[in-house]
Amino acid sequence: MIVIAQVIHMNERAASSRYNYTVLVVCWMGWIAIYLGRSILAPLLPLLSSELGLTYAQVGLIESAYLVGYIVVKVPAGLVANRIGIKRTLVLSMVGYGVSTALNFGATGFAHLMVFRFLLGLFQGVHLPIANTLLSERFGEKQGRAIGFHESGPNVGNTVAFPLAVTITSALGWRWAFLILSLPAFLLAGVATIVLRDETKIEREAQASPKKRASLRGFTRVLVPLALAHAAYNLCLRTLLIFIPSYLVEFRGMSFSTAGFVASVMPAAGIIAKISSGFLAERTGRRTSIVAAIALSGVFILSLVWLPFGPYLTVNLVALGLVLYSYSPIIYASVTSSLPPELKSLGLGAVTMVGNIVGALSTFIIGVIIDGYGYRMALSTIGGLSVFASVLIFVVMRNSSPDTDNDNLECARARVLLNS
């Protein structure tokens, strides 16, 4: 009987492990579908700006509208998941961002693009806190590597979206690019409906526990530097993703199609960076990994406009992709590993909300700088702020210490994890 029980237990563990990886793959494909819809706009901007008469400030506002939607849903996403279930929440968000992408087929001006991008951000913003919290709970001590793989999904989607959008636009027109690249979201919603289980509430275990309920206040000193790091990440990422294709066309003199393909090398390099981020953090420490990546991102951004023109441009973009994309999974894993189960989605929502507020502001501000002073000033501003942010974050992380309230033991554990 003991042998039979052991066999049953082993089979159950194997089945649970297989399902964990099924969840990981579905969440990873969710990121790909998200970025297929999200990344269409950037490579098409040279055409859209000409056809619809958009200024760079307006382009920045369009991306800001996306990020506003992305921001406002972060914290409510966890509450919705706890009410209707994680599976239903993810499926509804997939259908929502599929519809929001397809609606751009009928866009005729700036106002339409603003509304549709806001809706896109609203539905896509659900994914990060819900999916990463789910993976954290399922993979436990291995969550750093699981989240690192999961976070490579945006880079895969981004890398594929740029050349696909350019190819479809060249053959059928830019409206068809939005319509065709919305289809994977609907397909994935069907797959998720079939293969995902109806997960229990994220907070159920914690709610049933007799221990005092924790609050984010006790983890402030851990979360603040991570929020600052995420802000630096968004400053670079959001502005570069939206403006790099136009920079290549107008500042570097590339053709529309060539710029679309060259711009994809940065997110392509990020695939390697995100998958390897967990291993990097284990060997160098999370603080060192984050700060070094922010500083190097600033240096490579500055080199885009201050080094003489030459064939090194693609190499520079590859190097930028390797460092820029390497630290966001470390930030997310640091948050989820530092917080108790009932606070993980809320903590992720808070940290990413701060970062995306900076992203929403920076896309508009950088667009204004491009309109008034050109790409050299705009990219110099981003690069200089990144280097400054790396110094600030290093100091804040070094001086962070646990709070002295009732949660100080948990804060101490979180601090050890952060500086490990």
* C-alpha to C-alpha distance for 354 and 228, rounded to whole angstroms: 8
Supply 327's token pair: 């630290």
| 374-400 pLDDT per residue, tens | 999 999 999 999 999 999 999 888 765
Query: What integer pLDDT is reported at residue 149 of this predicted model?
Result: 82
Sorting pLDDT into bands at 50, 70 and 90, what band is 134?
A: confident
Rounded mean pLDDT, 145-160: 82
- 41-55, 70-84, 383-397, range with the lowest pLDDT: 70-84
Sorting pLDDT into bands at 50, 70 and 90, what band is 233?
A: very high
Highest mean pLDDT among 46-55, 178-187, 238-247, 299-308: 178-187
Q: Is a pLDDT exceeding 80 seen at residue 88?
A: yes
Other beta carbons within 10 Å of 176: 14
User: CB under 8 Å, gap of 24 or more: what pairs does 108-112 form?
Assistant: 108/52, 109/52, 110/52, 110/54, 110/58, 110/62
Query: What integer pLDDT is reported at residue 68 of this predicted model?
Result: 86
Sorting pLDDT into bands at 50, 70 and 90, what band is 9?
A: very low
Percentage of the chain exceeding pLDDT 70: 85
Query: What integer pLDDT is reported at residue 207 of this predicted model?
Result: 44
- 165-174, 263-272, 310-319, 341-350, range with the lowest pLDDT: 341-350
| Angle of the 127-139 helix axis to the 2-38 helix axis, nearest 10 | 160
Percentage of the chain exceeding pLDDT 90: 30
Sorting pLDDT into bands at 50, 70 and 90, what band is 236?
A: very high
Sorting pLDDT into bands at 50, 70 and 90, what band is 102?
A: very high
Ramachandran sector of residue 400 (left: φ over 0; alpha: ψ -120 to 50; beta: rest): beta
Rounded mean pLDDT, 148-177: 88
Q: Is a pLDDT exceeding 80 seen at residue 89?
A: yes
Query: What integer pLDDT is reported at residue 272 of this predicted model?
Result: 86
Q: Do residues 329 and 151 touch, judged by C-beta distance below 8 A?
A: yes
> In the 3-class helix/strand/coil scheme, how is the chain assigned residue by residue?
CHHHHHHHHHHHHHHHHHHHHHHHHHHHHHHHHHHHHHCCHHHHHHHHHHHHCCCHHHHHHHHHHHHHHHHHCHHHHHHHHHHHCHHHHHHHHHHHHHHHHHHHHHCCCHHHHHHHHHHHHHHHCCHHHHHHHHHHHHHHHHHHHHHHHHCCHHHHHHHHHHHHHHHHHHHHCHHHHHHHCCHHHHHHHHHHHHHCCCCCCCCHHHHHCCCCCCCHHHHHHHHHHHHHHHHHHHHHHHHHHHHHHHHHHHCCCCCHHHHHHHHCHHHHHHHHHHHHHHHHHHHHCHHHHHHHHHHHHHHHHHHHHHCCCCCCHHHHHHHHHHHHCCCHHHHHHHHHHHCCHHHHHHHHHHHHHHHHHHHHHHHHHHHHHHHHHCHHHHHHHHHHHHHHHHHHHHHHHHHCCCCCCCCHHHHHHHHHHHCC
Global confidence as pTM: 0.72
Rounded mean pLDDT, 264-277: 85
Rounded mean pLDDT, 310-334: 87
Query: What integer pLDDT is reported at residue 11 of this predicted model?
Result: 45
User: Which residue in 121, 55, 132, 58 sits closest to 357, CA to CA?
Assistant: 121
Average pLDDT over the chain, rounded to an integer: 81
Sorting pLDDT into bands at 50, 70 and 90, what band is 145?
A: confident
Which of the two residues, 292 and 214, has the higher pLDDT score?
292
Domain ranges of the chain: 24-200+215-418
Q: Is a pLDDT exceeding 60 seen at residue 76?
A: yes
Sorting pLDDT into bands at 50, 70 and 90, what band is 204?
A: very low
Query: What integer pLDDT is reported at residue 401 of this predicted model?
Result: 43
Query: What integer pLDDT is reported at residue 399 of this predicted model?
Result: 61
Supply 313's token pair: 């441009």
Which of the two residues, 334 and 293, has the higher pLDDT score?
293
Query: What integer pLDDT is reported at residue 215 of this predicted model?
Result: 72
CATH 3.30.43.10 fits 24-200+215-418, yes or no: no
Query: What integer pLDDT is reported at residue 222 of this predicted model?
Result: 84
Sorting pLDDT into bands at 50, 70 and 90, what band is 21?
A: confident
Sorting pLDDT into bands at 50, 70 and 90, what band is 200?
A: low
Sorting pLDDT into bands at 50, 70 and 90, what band is 187?
A: very high
Scan for tokens 């030459």, then name that residue. Answer: 310
Sorting pLDDT into bands at 50, 70 and 90, what band is 202?
A: very low
* C-alpha to C-alpha distance for 46 and 54, rounded to whole angstroms: 10
Rounded mean pLDDT, 394-416: 51
Supply 299's token pair: 């240096």
Burial of 243 (0-12, 13-18, 19+ CB in 10 A): buried
Q: Is a pLDDT exceeding 80 seen at residue 126?
A: yes
